[in-house]
Amino acid sequence: MSMPYPRELVRSLEFIAEVCNRRRDGRLRTAASLREVCLEWGVPGVSRLSGADAAATWAHLPTVERLWDGRRDEVAALVNRVFRDTGARPQLVRHDDYDWHLHGLPPGAPIADSLVVNAAMAIVDLVRADDMARCKRCGDDRCDRMFLDQSRNRSRRFCSTTCQSRTNVAAFRARHA
């Protein structure tokens, strides 16, 4: 990995992309599927996740996608709005097997608010470093997946080798048609 960011930040950004991608491609439709992806990624406090929590999370995902896709100044304003609207008050905490890290909301806060605040907090470092170009969408015309470009020179264009190959084959066929 060539990104100059802490592992936890990279993991948070990848989690954001995964949740949005699963929701867009229909694999995230129920509270159970949201609980499953959260458990896969080690998100605490999801055992109590309800249908209302899932619906509130779905309502926040357009904001998360605007954080991902937006221009730096717009994203900064949106981050501040997320913090205001959710009452976020980041605090350093240490628990379980984790060393000191930031929590945006206190334990027991609604999971939907926690997810959008965590997304905003992860994006903050990219805004501060003027590195929003790492938050990308797949370059394949048939794909719109979000991905984090971890390449040294921010040159990755596709979410996967599948999309890259599909695009390259289509370009080859077009040139030789």
Instruction: Identify the structural domains of the chain with CATH numbers, from first to last.
Output: 7-175 (1.10.3300.10)
CA distance 126 to 124: 5
Number of C-alpha atoms within 13 angstroms, CB side, residue 173? 6
pLDDT per residue of the chain (177 residues) written in tens, 0 to 9: 456 788 889 999 999 999 999 999 999 999 999 999 999 998 888 888 999 999 999 999 999 999 999 999 999 999 999 999 999 999 998 888 878 888 899 888 999 999 999 999 999 999 999 999 999 999 999 999 999 999 988 999 999 989 988 887 777 777 887
The pTM score is 0.89
**Contact indicator for 119, 105 with CB cutoff of 8 Å:** no
Q: How many CB atoms lie within 10 A of CB 21?
A: 18
DSSP secondary structure code for residue 128 in this structure:
H
* Three-state secondary structure call for residue 92: strand
pLDDT of residue 36: 96
**Contact indicator for 138, 159 with CB cutoff of 8 Å:** yes
pLDDT of residue 1: 44
pLDDT of residue 120: 97
Q: How many CB atoms lie within 10 A of CB 160?
A: 13
**Contact indicator for 119, 99 with CB cutoff of 8 Å:** no
CA distance 142 to 97: 41
pLDDT of residue 139: 94
CA distance 19 to 27: 9
pLDDT of residue 2: 58
Q: Which residue has 């954001």 as its token pair? A: 16
pLDDT of residue 137: 97
Q: Write b or e for each residue in 86-121: b if 16 or more Cβ atoms lie within 10 A of its Cβ, otherwise e.
A: bebeeeeeeeeeeeeeebbbeeebbbbbbbbbbbbb
CA distance 137 to 123: 15
